[in-house]
Amino acid sequence: MFAPPPTERFLVEPRDYTTIFNDEDNVMRPLAQKWRVSFGHFDPNVIALAISQQLLPRFAIIGIKPPAREPIWRFIGDAHQWLGNDYQYRGIGEKVQDIADKDYGEWVSEYLRWVATSGQPRYDIVTASIQYMNEPGTPRRTVNYERLLLPWKTTSGEVLVTSCAKIVSQECDTIPGPDDSSVSRKSARSSLASLAEV
């Protein structure tokens, strides 16, 4: 199992993706089932399934084509507001590693390359400290999220990696206050908002 060295900002707890098939309450289960029964071949029904299961807002599709193997945004769902206003439109065709929080972009890109090259899915619990681009000038947010990365074969030779994520919890990182250098601000917790790995 691919595992880059953990950092202070990014931690990953790998899970066995096959546990999704036994969890009827997991919103990502239909997507994992589609990947399995189609032998990982991408077709328009993948998008139709994401729409019918109300996964499209938290969905992202990343293309990786040899020999460059650079993860490129192909689709970004509306719930990925942390990337910045209207990034779901202007980011298409851009490299994942070139998002404003470049450390996070490069870190996620390593996972995307591994999934595309190995042809194996990844199911992880991630804790990451990320700069939200829709909140410029604010501290990073520490986000705990569940993600499923699936590699799909295409007739063009490009591998499409779908990312589906669900936030478990989030809070603002510690920032200096007027009289105290260790005042912490917390944001509302959410179990339904989405974050891409991309």
Residue 109 CB contacts under 8 Å (≥ 6 apart), including other chains: 70, 71, 95, 96, 97, 198
Domain ranges of the chain: 10-184
Residue 95 token pair: 């490299």
CB 51 within 8 A of CB 30: no
Fold of 10-184: Beta-Lactamase (3.30.450)
CB 53 within 8 A of CB 162: no
DSSP H or E stretch at residue 159: strand 159-172
Q: Which residue has the higher pLDDT, 87 or 196?
A: 87
User: For all residues of the chain together, what is the average pLDDT?
Assistant: 83
Instruction: Provide mean pLDDT across the span 80-105.
Output: 91
Q: For residue range 44-92, list pLDDT tens digits in order.
A: 999 999 999 999 999 999 999 988 789 999 999 998 888 988 899 999 9
Cα torsion for 84, 168, 16, 31, to the nearest 10°? -60
Q: What share of the chain is helix, strand, coil (3-state, %, to 5)?
A: 25, 30, 45
